[in-house]
Amino acid sequence: QKEVEQNSGPLSVPEGAIASLNCTYSDRGSQSFFWYRQYSGKSPELIMSIYSNGDKEDGRFTAQLNKASQYVSLLIRDSQPSDSATYLCAAGVYSGGYQKVTFGTGTKLQVIP
């Protein structure tokens, strides 16, 4: 079982719709959660971090965390073609005195104009 699991997609949504990206993690000791966006051929870029249960909003992005269900999600409102990318979910666990971050394999999002 992978430590951080994501559906590889592709997830296709029409322009202007809400894109919902989901992630589950296996280590209940995980304390920090991150979403990165990665355009094809580019490196990952941090877009959201969340540390406590509930929702965190930043512009068109909302991250949701449910530690009881070991579930993290990212909502993208008013999706734009420029949002088309692979979205990586990551979870951080404190081990050996520092936070070790494990990434999922990513979900490819396609926003159709």
Partner 1 sequence: GAGVSQTPSNKVTEKGKYVELRCDPISGHTALYWYRQSLGQGPEFLIYFQGTGAADDSGLPNDRFFAVRPEGSVSTLKIQRTERGDSAVYLCASSLQDNYGYTFGSGTRLTVV
Query: Which residues contact partner 1 (rule: CB under 8 A)?
Result: 4, 8, 31-32, 34, 36, 42-46, 49, 88, 90, 92, 96-106
Separate counts of helices (H) and strands (E) for the chain? 0, 11
Letter for the amino acid at 53? N
Residue 53 CB, shortest distance to partner 1, in Å, is 17
Distance CA 58, CA 55 (A): 10
Instruction: Let me know: does 55 contact 62? Beta carbons within 8 Å.
Output: yes
**Shorter beta-carbon distance to partner 1: residue 42 or 77:** 42
Contact (CB, 8 A) for 37 and 85 = yes
Q: Toward partner 1, which CB reaches closer, 46 or 112?
A: 46
Min separation Cβ 7 and partner 1, Å: 13
- Residue 100 sits at the vertex; the CA angle it makes with 98 and 106, to the nearest 5 degrees, is 155
Kindly state the smallest distance separating residue 72's Cβ from partner 1, in Å.
14
Rounded CA-CA distance 44/7 in Å is: 18
Q: Which is nearer to partner 1, 78 or 100 (CB)?
A: 100
Instruction: Select 34 or 83, whichever has its Cβ closest to partner 1.
Output: 34
CB 99, min distance to partner 1, A = 5
